């Protein structure tokens, strides 16, 4: 299983949209996908219309109560997405930010839980807007950290901070960890947007994805209806961009698999 963590410590940059749309595009392309809602705001869980029974296990119990990941996995109501399963955040996940640091090896709990979970090609993690214990768990479990970045002033600074975390994880735990920026909410008519994208490419080179996701009204519409974009408006520009992103991710992670097998 390949693990993709969607992270950026800023809110409103397109993390949940990217997690939801990338996960559903991968599932529609025939991959078996587990999406994990790691944001206490539960936007991803709500966006997929998943209702958890009041005594049902969630990510909170997995991270803090020793519950197996398999017990917190739920199907998505839309039957066209039978290849997609979800681990919901749960109403208490915010508490994990303060409870986790008290546990030994807290930054690798999710990684270990994922290792004992089989039957999926991809796990997609929707991280919260912070660099706290939940995001550290996401990065610690990842093969690829994918960071949606809105093309506006100071975006590059946030990327540098996140890259510092990625570098520490690479050095201490996972030298193969990949990092990619995906420009989101891009408005090509806006000069500042274009300049910031050029600057990101200059500063981060091949670590910026080939795909750029433009501003598209269909994104909000699809979320208001609770239908993933790829099913609501499959021909919209944003849906096409996310379909290309899914292929880019498959290629990136499968070539890594080949390189490792050959080494």
Ligand X SMILES: Nc1ncnc2c1ncn2[C@@H]1O[C@H](COP(=O)(O)OP(=O)(O)O)[C@@H](O)[C@H]1O
Cα separation, 160 vs 143, in Å, equals 19
The verdict on 243 binding ligand X (CB under 6 A) reads no
The nearest distance, CB 115 to Mg ion, in angstroms, is 26
Which of these segments, 16-24, 167-175, 183-191, 251-259, binds Mg ion (CB under 5 A)?
16-24
The verdict on 231 binding ligand X (CB under 6 A) reads no
Between 15 and 243, name the residue whose CB sits nearer to Mg ion: 15
Q: Which of 8, 16, 137, 236 binds Mg ion (CB under 5 A)?
A: 16
**Residue owning tokens 């199907």:** 75
Cα separation, 18 vs 15, in Å, equals 5
DSSP 118-143: -S-SEEEEE--SSSSHHHHHHHHH-S
89 binds, among Mg ion, ligand X, none (CB under 5 to 8 A by kind): none
Helix, coil or strand: residue 254? helix
Site string for ligand X, 6-35 (x = CB under 6 A): -----xxxxxxx------------------
The nearest distance, CB 47 to ligand X, in angstroms, is 8
For residue 69, count other CB atoms closer than 10 A to its CB: 21
Q: Phi then psi for 112, rounded to 5 degrees?
A: -65, -40
Q: Which of 8, 14, 15, 27 binds Mg ion (CB under 5 A)?
A: 15
The verdict on 202 binding ligand X (CB under 6 A) reads no
Contact (CB, 8 A) for 124 and 6: yes
* Residue list 92-151, contact with ligand X (CB under 6 A): 129
DSSP 193-244: HHHHHHHHHHHHGGGB-S--PBP-HHHHHHHHHT--HHHH-TTSHHHHHHHH
The verdict on 215 binding ligand X (CB under 6 A) reads yes
Count interface residues toward ligand X (CB under 6 A).
18
For residue 260, count other CB atoms closer than 10 A to its CB: 9
Which parts of this chain interact with Mg ion (CB under 5 A)? 15-16, 39, 43
Which parts of this chain interact with ligand X (CB under 6 A)? 11-17, 43, 129, 184-185, 213, 215-216, 219-220, 223, 238
């Amino acid at each position: 299983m390949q693990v993709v963590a969607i992270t950026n410590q800023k809110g409103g940059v397109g993390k949940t949209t990217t997690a939801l749309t990338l996960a559903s595009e991968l599932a529609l392309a025939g991959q078996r996908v587990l999406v994990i809602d790691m944001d206490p705001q539960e936007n991803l869980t709500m966006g997929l219309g998943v209702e958890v029974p009041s005594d049902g296990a969630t990510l909170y119990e997995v991270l803090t109560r020793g519950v197996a990941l398999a017990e917190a996995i739920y199907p998505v109501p839309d039957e066209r997405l039978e290849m997609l399963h979800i681990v919901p955040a749960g109403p208490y996940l915010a508490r994990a930010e303060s409870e986790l640091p008290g546990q030994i090896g807290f930054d690798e709990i999710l990684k270990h839980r994922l290792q004992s979970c089989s039957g999926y090609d991809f796990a997609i993690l929707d991280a919260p807007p912070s660099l706290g214990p939940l995001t550290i768990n996401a990065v610690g479990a990842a093969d690829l950290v994918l960071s949606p970045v809105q093309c506006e002033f100071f975006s590059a600074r946030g990327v540098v901070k996140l890259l510092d975390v990625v570098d520490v994880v690479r050095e201490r735990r996972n030298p193969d960890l990949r990092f990619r920026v995906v420009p989101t909410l891009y408005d090509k008519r806006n000069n500042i947007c274009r300049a910031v994208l050029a600057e990101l490419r200059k500063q981060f080179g091949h670590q910026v994805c080939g795909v750029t996701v433009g501003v598209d009204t269909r994104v909000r519409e699809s979320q208001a209806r609770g239908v993933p974009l790829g099913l609501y408006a499959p021909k919209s520009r944003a849906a096409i961009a996310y379909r290309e992103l899914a292929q880019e991710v498959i290629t990136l992670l499968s070539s890594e698999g080949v390189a490792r097998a050959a080494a």
